[in-house]
Chain A
Amino acid sequence: MKNAKLPAILVGLSVVGVLGFLAFGSMGDNLVYYWSPSELRAAADGGAGGMVRLGGLVKAGSVRVEGTKTVFTVEDHGASVEVRTAAIPPQMFREGIGVVVEGSLGPDGVFESKRLLVKHDENYKAPTDGNLSQDQTRSLEGD
């Protein structure tokens, strides 16, 4: 009967451990999942150097490729930040979509990022005029 309790105690302890880690570890120093460009700009010097997540919309016409890196501008209503990332953009990446990038603001004012995540908004629409968007065309081509 004592032995039958051991798995339960182990599960209980791991749960307490993971909850503690969640409460004090991963979220402890930074309760905000990402900063908007305005918030990063408002932090001024504070924004430079530290590892943060930056979230906003990819500015139309700003996406270009520099060697192996993708460069684009992330904007919100008030501010914009230029981002350079070595990450391979997820399939849904496009101009106007929400993104979250992880990295830090360099001394040259460009946000250097190793990680690029794409947000999906809460709208679900059928393809207009019966055609799929460019993303789908790209995926069909195996890109």
Chain B
Amino acid sequence: MTRNLLITGALAVLLQVGGMVAGLTLSPPEQHMSDLVRIMFVHVPVAWAAMATFTVTLVAAIGWLSTRRWGWDHLLDASLEVGVVLGVLLSVQGSVWGYPTWGTWWTWDPRLTSVAVMVLSFLGILALRAFVDDPDKRASWSAAASILAWGSVPFTYFCVKVMNSLHQKQTPWGAMAPEMLRVLLLNTGTVTILTLWMLVARYRLARVELQRELDT
């Protein structure tokens, strides 16, 4: 089991390295921001992966509350942690990109603020899980909180469409050079694979953890 995880994990990382090399070599520079555009090839896929992962959290939360099967709680646990890691990574990438383009590491515009609220909400639920001893209560409370916190996900996605923000809007089809779009789609695939792998690995860990907890 563990050996399979190691092999698939190494493959997922290799694929991601391939995607990143493609981002550094196959795409032309952007006409105004030149090589800085290469951050976009990992920033956008990580944004997608973070929001998709938090949506997995929502599904797991509903799953637990309606069926009380432990598998849903393992998935909840896994997706919370993976999502928070991706969300922090997303913010770091955004800062690194924002400083040379916008002229600031951080500003309280709607998109940056809503991402901060999203990541902190789910981080708070992880903290909640850590200090509830009863596994049943832990699962139910964190599931209820996760459903509430998920509201920040569509807000984060749509706020740039309807509010004044420094962050750019979603790029419509055709507004990105095809040779950049190809690299972006490739990286979206590799980041998704890596995220799925992290979810599976963390799910198994959650299962073992709960087993140990119930045994002692």
Q: Which A residues have a C-beta under 8 Å from some C-beta of B?
A: 5, 7-9, 11-12, 15-16, 18-19, 22, 26-27, 32-36, 55, 87, 89-92, 94, 97, 100, 116-128, 132-133, 135-136, 139
- When distances are taken between beta carbons in the complex, the residues of chain A under 8 Å from B180 are 124, 126
Q: Do B102 and A117 have beta carbons less than 8 Å apart?
A: yes
User: Which residues of B lie under 8 Å from residue A135 when comparing CB positions?
Assistant: 32-34
> Are B32 and A100 neighbours in the complex by a CB distance under 8 Å?
no
Chain A residues with Cβ below 8 Å from B170 are 122
The 8 closest A-B pairs by CB, nearest first: A90-B103, A8-B130, A15-B124, A12-B127, A126-B28, A11-B127, A124-B176, A122-B171
The answer, yes or no, to whether B8 is at the interface (CB within 8 Å) is no
Query: B108 is contacted by which of A27, A90, A139 (Cβ under 8 Å)?
Result: A27
Residues of chain B lying within 8 A (CB to CB) of residue A122? 168-172, 175
- Check A124/B171 contact, CB under 8 A, given A33-B165, A119-B166, A132-B34: yes
Chain B residue numbers with a CB within 8 Å of A97 are 32
Interface-lining segment among B14-22, B51-59, B113-121: B113-121
The answer to whether A120 and B33 touch across the interface, beta carbons within 8 angstroms, is yes
B169 and A136 within 8 A (CB): no
Given contacts A92-B101, A117-B166, A124-B180, contact A15 B172 (CB under 8 A): no
9 A-B pairs whose Cβ atoms sit less than 8 Å apart in the complex: A15-B121, A16-B124, A89-B103, A91-B100, A124-B40, A125-B31, A126-B29, A127-B30, A132-B31
Segment 1-32 of B: residues with Cβ below 8 Å from A: 28-32
CA distance A30 to B145 in the complex (A): 28
Interface residue? B123 (CB, 8 A): yes
**Taking the nearest CB of chain A, how far is it from the CB of B191, in angstroms?**
18
Residue B179 CB within 8 A of the other chain:
yes
Q: Judge whether A125 and B131 touch: CB under 8 Å.
A: no
- How far, in Å, is A125 (CB) from chain B's closest CB? 5
Q: Which residues of B contact A9 (CB under 8 A)?
A: 127, 131
Q: Which of B100, B102, B172, B179 contacts A119 (CB 8 A)?
A: B102
Contact of A124 among B30, B103, B127, B128 (CB under 8 A): B30
Q: How far is the CA of A89 from the CA of B101 in the complex (A)?
A: 11
Contacts of A100 in B (CB 8 A): 166
Q: Which residue of A lies closest to B112 (CB)?
A: A33
B103 touches which of A94, A117, A128 (Cβ 8 Å): A117
| Residues B120 and A15 in contact, CB atoms below 8 Å apart | yes
Instruction: Give A24 to B176 CA distance when docked, in angstroms.
Output: 38
For the complex with contacts A124-B180, A127-B31, 5 further pairs of A-B residues with Cβ separation under 8 Å are A33-B165, A90-B102, A123-B171, A126-B30, A126-B179
A123 contacts across to B, CB distance below 8 A = 171, 175-176
Chain A residues with CB below 8 A from B34, complex form: 132, 135-136, 139
Known: A123-B171, A123-B176. A12 touches B33 (CB 8 A): no
